[in-house]
Amino acid sequence: MDTAPPRGSGELTFRDGVEGDVPALVELIQSAYRGERSRAGWTTEADLIGGGRVDAAGVRKVIEGSDSRLIVTERAGELVACCQLERREKEAYFGMFAVSPLLQAGGIGRRVLARAEHLARTEWGARTMQMTVLAPRHELIAWYERRGYRRTGLLSPFPYGEETVGVPFRDDLVFELLLKDLAPAG
């Protein structure tokens, strides 16, 4: 049985993912969204989609990409969260966001998101952060809205038939684009 360390134990450290992290990152992302383990946290998609959320090739592509990075978050040397950043001119895309289900709702996700926004703004000069979220994920969208993201109403189709993103249990899934202005006020 999985046990979580106390919520406040140890400082978070951030670094770029490397090839050796791929298996652990795939497992972390999977555990945060799919299968029974994901039900320990609040970000589960287990009732919407089964199967894998990402595969090793998908994680490797982000790690190796010239305009992307996969940020690894550790506490006491243990992988606890991750996220993808992709440079898109004056915008950055945020994805592959995962926090260990047993550590969710303890502030780690908020800190990872803030770190990603800071890096996109200061290192890439991004003015906007964008992401896509499954439209039926109302609680997750509300969480992002509380962090300054706005719904655009722009929808894109779920990639039905692509085995690398899982097997949907519904035929009405779409993604909604969320945006946040990263430019400093002034």
Is-contact 49 107, C-beta < 8 A? no
Number of other residues whose CB lies within 10 A of the CB of residue 169: 12
pLDDT in tens, 169-182: 999 999 999 999 99
pLDDT in tens, 94-145: 999 999 999 999 999 999 999 999 999 999 999 999 999 999 999 999 999 9
pLDDT value of residue 21? 97
Of 183 and 58, the one with more pLDDT: 58
**Structure tokens belonging to residue 50:** 């089964």
Average pLDDT over every residue of 137-157: 96
**Structure tokens belonging to residue 4:** 């979580």
Average pLDDT over every residue of 141-150: 97
Strands of 68-75's sheet in order across: 12-16, 68-75, 78-88, 91-99, 128-134, 174-181, 150-157
pLDDT at residue 164 is higher than 60? yes
Helix, strand, or coil here: 46?
coil
45 burial (CB, 10 Å; 0-12 / 13-18 / 19+) is buried
pTM, full prediction? 0.90
Distance CA 173, CA 153 (A): 14
> Cβ contacts of residue 75 below 8 Å, gap of 6+?
5, 9, 10, 11, 12, 13
pLDDT at residue 3 is higher than 50? no
- Dihedral sign, CA of 7, 11, 15, 19? negative
Average pLDDT over every residue of 6-32: 88
> Cβ contacts of residue 2 below 8 Å, gap of 6+?
37, 40, 102
